[in-house]
Each structure stands twice: as C-alpha cells, then as structure tokens.
Amino acid sequence: MYLGIDAGTSEIKALVLNSAGEIMATAGAPLTLQRPHPHWSEQDPAQWWQATQQVIDQLRQQLGASWCEIRAIGLSGQMHGAVLLGQDNEVLRPCILWNDTRSAAECQQLNSLAPELHAVAGNLAMPGFTAPKLLWLARHEPTIFNRIATVLLPKDYLRWMMSGEKISEMSDAAGTLWLDVAQRQWSASLLAACGLTREQMPRLVEGSHPAGKLKAEVARQWGLSDEVMIAGGGGDNAASAVGIGAINPGDAFISLGTSGVLFAVNDGFRPDPQSALHAFCHALPQRWHQMSVMLSAASALRWLCDLLQTSETALLAEVAALSHEEQLHSPLFLPYLSGERTPHNDPQACGAFHGLTHASQRASLAYAVLEGVSFGMADGLRVLQQAGTELTCCSLIGGGARSPWWAQLMADVLNLTIITHRGGEAGGALGAARLGWLAVGGDEQQVCQKPAELERYLPDASRHQQLQPRLQQFRQLYQQQRAMRL
C-alpha cells in the first residue's frame, strides 16, 4: 500500500492507496493560520508536524494490521511558503504562506535585480512566490535573513522531519522563482539576486523518483519499516493532476479549493508571464504545465457562510431554488478577497458586491459568489487560450466539486464540458500516494489512470450567451476599481 500526505493551508489530509488503485482509508487534521498584520499570512511549521502525527494515528486505527504494508510515501503541499532553517536546523520564524501579499514592493525590486527572471523562471514576480518573501526578509528582518542555512517549501519540511533529508522536486521548486524551469535546476543568478546560493537550497529530484527513507525513530513511532521510501512528491496542483490522471498534453482540470486553479498539461516549457499565467514543471519527468490561479475560490463561499452564520449545504440549496430571472438580477461579486494573480497580478485587488438593493437576499448573494468565482475562472481560461492552449473539457476537483449546481454553472460560464470523478475531492493526497507508488517501481500508465467519471456537465449554449453581459460588467467593475486606486 502507498501513503499520500497533502499539507494544505487549512488541513493536513492523508490517504492510503492499495495496489489496485483503491483508496483504503482517509484522514484529516485541521490547521489554523495567523494574520498578525494586514496582508500577512503565516503558519508555524510545528503545527504541520503535529497534524501529520494526528492523521497517521487516524489511519493506523482504520487499517489495523494492514497498516504495516505501506511501502512508500508521497508528499503534496501548498506551494511558495518559506520555511527558514538555521545552522542547527531550528525554524527561525513562522512560515510566510502563498497567500501573504506583504512583498509587493519587493516584486519590483526583483524585476530590477534579475532582468532574466521572466525568461528563466517563466513567471511574473508576484507576492505569493517565495523569492520576493526573502527580499522582504532581507529588508525588514535582516537578523533572521543572515541566519538562514536552508530554505524549504512546506511539504519538504515534512520530508525533512520524516527522513532528515533536505530535498525538493521540480513542480514545487518552480514556484519559488529560483528555478530554471526549462532546465529543471536551480538558477544561480536568480538566487544571487535574492542574496542566496545553491548551498541554501534543497537537492532536487523528479516528483516520481525516490527522495529519502523514513528515519528509524519515525518508522518505529509510526509502526512502519525504515525501508519505506519517500517520493519527491509535488506541489499541490501538480500532485492533484497526477491524482486526476492529468499527465498528458491536452489534459486539464479545475480545482475549487481555498484558491482556484485552471491547470493544463504541456509537453514543453511554454511561458506567458505578461498575462500572469504560470508556467511550471509538472511532477512527472519531461512534462510542464500552464496554470491560471485565483487566490479565493471555495474560500469565498466559506467566507460568506461565516458572515451569514449558515452552512454551505443550506446556502447552496437556497441558490438552487432561485429562478433563472432571479439569478440574472443578482448582484455581481468580485472574488478578490486576498488580492488576485491571474490575469491581474494585483495584490491590492479587493472583493466587492455590486448592485445590492433591499430585494437582495442570502441566496442572491451566494449566487453572486459562485458566479464571481466562475467569472474569475473565465478570465484565466481567456489568457490560456491567448497563450495558445485550447481546451474542450476539464475535470473538476476540490471542495467546490461537491456541488453539482456549481459544476453546471462553471460549464455554462466557460462553455466547456466539466467532468467530476469518484474520489476527486482527494486531490493532492491521491496524487501524492500515486507518486509514492511510482517511486518504488509502479508503471505510470497503470498508476496514473483517470478515476471513474462521476458526472459529466455539458455547457448550455443559451445560458452561456445570457451570462456574457454579466461577465463583461464583472470585468468592467474590476477595471473601475483599479482605476480608482491609481
């Protein structure tokens, strides 16, 4: 059997996969984040390790004697976070997360220090990426910066705790802005622009290759053999792609989690940084991917539920009861609760409802949120198409995939066939387990099959046309908001 661990922003998730590709057990442990100042988002890495221990205990209880059949472990995780270790491997400060936007000024600085950035890293400098975070630290916390011996990404901190090895892999490393993405190796010049060297970076492997074994004391504590292999793993979206079987050029999926992602597999490095489209390495060798990213997706619906003190299930039921006419006269919602990446690269963008009246009700607000996230995804699809990537269908994964109503709305907005899959909510943990399987000799074509279809949502051409005026107004509202800040 094979264990997959996904270090998300809100939860550590894990599952166990057997050699028939069946999920045998799942577990999760919640995480909290800290926002001590505006634009800040941090977590204590010790919390990740504590939550990992909790999910291991849960899985052991579920599997009983068969738990000891685990042969390999794969890791997936939130990207871009900066875990800083000192000379004695002590954590120097809380990890600065992907949705932290404090380093906007340092993005401009990085562009000046590294004019080759776009060509080599294939991406715009954005506050979410790791490199600007380190420039911010050099300016604002120089004592800590000068003590840095190693910079690790979140999932790779878990690997270090499990194995004592400082190793990363291509898909996650591509999100630092320090990787030569075409060559799949650290760029000395991009590191130097941030005052760092290759010696401060983890060793790189491919995501499906071996990357350490369990330390003897961890193996004993977990009731496993110290011969259990740990795979390179993948950044959360690349691992999710492996889990959903998006491994060949032309495969694509949408993820509706805390953030929203439109992910398309490529057979080569195809950057288009000016549109804020990401171009990263895939977690599998000799493959890359393009990705549009929204910083708030299903998290926007959770935010509204918290505000209204109701559940997602109850609110989605109210949305489904709205008439077609009520939907088209609902307010519009800009989903930029944490700023935005694709296509705006605007950390100052903010959320907004437009068109509120005394007649506005909870259901119409919820509809506006679901539609606003779908419109944001349409902006991402547009820049993918402009970059030469044409899609006809997309798999749908993440927490948002549990709503058939939202899946149909997404199909209608994007004018794409949307497919949900059994186990699609497993996301990165499933892909991580599959990468672990590959690291001990699994066959890619057998291991990385697409899960069975759950439902197929065909776009409604008439509804697509009816939504176009609202989409255009949505885009105009953002431009008006941006003009007011300039």
Looking at the predicted structure, is the pLDDT value of residue 224 above 90? yes
Instruction: Return mean pLDDT, the chain.
Output: 95
Question: Token pair for residue 276?
Answer: 């804020």
Q: How far is CA 394 from CA 13, 255, 300, 434, 465, in A?
A: 24, 10, 22, 21, 20
Q: Looking at residue 273, what is its pLDDT?
A: 85
Q: pLDDT digits over 416-464, tens only?
A: 999 999 876 677 999 999 999 999 999 999 999 999 999 999 999 999 9
Q: Looking at residue 95, what is its pLDDT?
A: 98
Average pLDDT, integer, range 331-347: 93
Q: Looking at residue 427, what is its pLDDT?
A: 76
Average pLDDT, integer, range 194-219: 98
Q: State percent of the chain over pLDDT 90.
A: 89
CA 470 to chain centroid, in Å, comes to 28
Average pLDDT, integer, range 97-108: 93
Q: Looking at residue 399, what is its pLDDT?
A: 82
The CATH code belonging to domain 2-237 is 3.30.420.40
What is the number of helices (H) and of strands (E) in the chain? 18, 24
Q: How far is CA 424 from CA 24, 241, 269, 342, 393, in A?
A: 15, 10, 27, 24, 16
**How many other C-beta atoms lie within 10 A of the C-beta of residue 76?**
37
Looking at the predicted structure, is the pLDDT value of residue 141 above 90? yes
Q: Looking at residue 402, what is its pLDDT?
A: 87
The C-alpha atoms of residue 135 and residue 85 are separated, in whole angstroms, by 16
Boundaries of every domain in the chain: 2-237
String of b and e for 237-261 (b: at least 16 CB within 10 Å)? bbbbbbbbbbbeeebbbbbbbbbbb
The C-alpha atoms of residue 293 and residue 424 are separated, in whole angstroms, by 19
Mapped onto helix, strand or coil, the DSSP state of residue 364 is: helix
* Beta-sheet pairing, 252-256 with 393-397: parallel
**Based on C-alpha coordinates, what's the Rg of the chain?**
22
Q: Looking at residue 53, what is its pLDDT?
A: 98
Q: Looking at residue 4, what is its pLDDT?
A: 98
Q: State percent of the chain over pLDDT 70.
A: 100
DSSP state of 314: H
* Beta-sheet pairing, 203-205 with 167-169: parallel
Q: How far is CA 170 from CA 66, 179, 213, 282, in A?
A: 32, 8, 19, 7
Nearest one of 405, 377, 389, 401 to 453, comparing CA atoms: 401
Does the bond joining 343 to the residue before it have cis omega, within 30 degrees of 0? yes
Burial class (CB in 10 A: 0-12, 13-18, 19+), 455: middle
Q: Is 81 left (phi over 0), alpha (psi -120 to 50) or beta?
A: beta
Q: pLDDT digits over 236-293, tens only?
A: 999 999 999 999 998 999 999 888 999 999 989 988 888 889 999 999 999 999 999 9
Nearest one of 378, 463, 387, 453 to 422, comparing CA atoms: 453
Confidence of residue 103 (pLDDT cuts 50, 70, 90): very high
Average pLDDT, integer, range 350-368: 96
Q: pLDDT digits over 39-65, tens only?
A: 999 999 999 999 999 999 999 999 999
Looking at the predicted structure, is the pLDDT value of residue 129 above 90? yes
Q: pLDDT digits over 372-411, tens only?
A: 999 999 999 999 999 889 899 999 998 888 899 999 999 9
Is the separation of the CB atoms in 84 and 93 below 8 Å? yes
Q: pLDDT digits over 390-399, tens only?
A: 899 999 998 8
The C-alpha atoms of residue 228 and residue 236 are separated, in whole angstroms, by 22
Composition of the chain by helix, strand, coil, percent to 5: 45, 20, 35
Looking at the predicted structure, is the pLDDT value of residue 119 above 80? yes
Strand-pair partners of 418: 394, 457
| Helices 461-485 + 404-414 axis angle, to 10 | 80
Strand-pair partners of 29: 12
Looking at the predicted structure, is the pLDDT value of residue 480 above 90? yes
Looking at the predicted structure, is the pLDDT value of residue 144 above 80? yes
Show binding-site residues for substrate. 79-80
The C-alpha atoms of residue 209 and residue 119 are separated, in whole angstroms, by 27
**Sign of the dihedral defined by the CA atoms of residues 102, 107, 113, 116, in that order:** positive
| Helices 104-113 + 130-140 axis angle, to 10 | 100
Annotated catalytic residue 460: no
The C-alpha atoms of residue 244 and residue 448 are separated, in whole angstroms, by 8
The C-alpha atoms of residue 408 and residue 418 are separated, in whole angstroms, by 8
Looking at the predicted structure, is the pLDDT value of residue 230 above 90? yes
pTM listed for this prediction: 0.90
Q: Which residue in the list 236, 251, 272, 412 is annotated as catalytic? A: 236
The C-alpha atoms of residue 265 and residue 242 are separated, in whole angstroms, by 11
Show binding-site residues. 79-80
Mapped onto helix, strand or coil, the DSSP state of residue 201 is: coil
Is the separation of the CB atoms in 125 and 74 below 8 Å? no
Is the separation of the CB atoms in 134 and 151 below 8 Å? yes
The C-alpha atoms of residue 1 and residue 220 are separated, in whole angstroms, by 18
Q: Looking at residue 64, what is its pLDDT?
A: 97
The C-alpha atoms of residue 405 and residue 363 are separated, in whole angstroms, by 13
Q: Which amino acid is at 441?
A: G
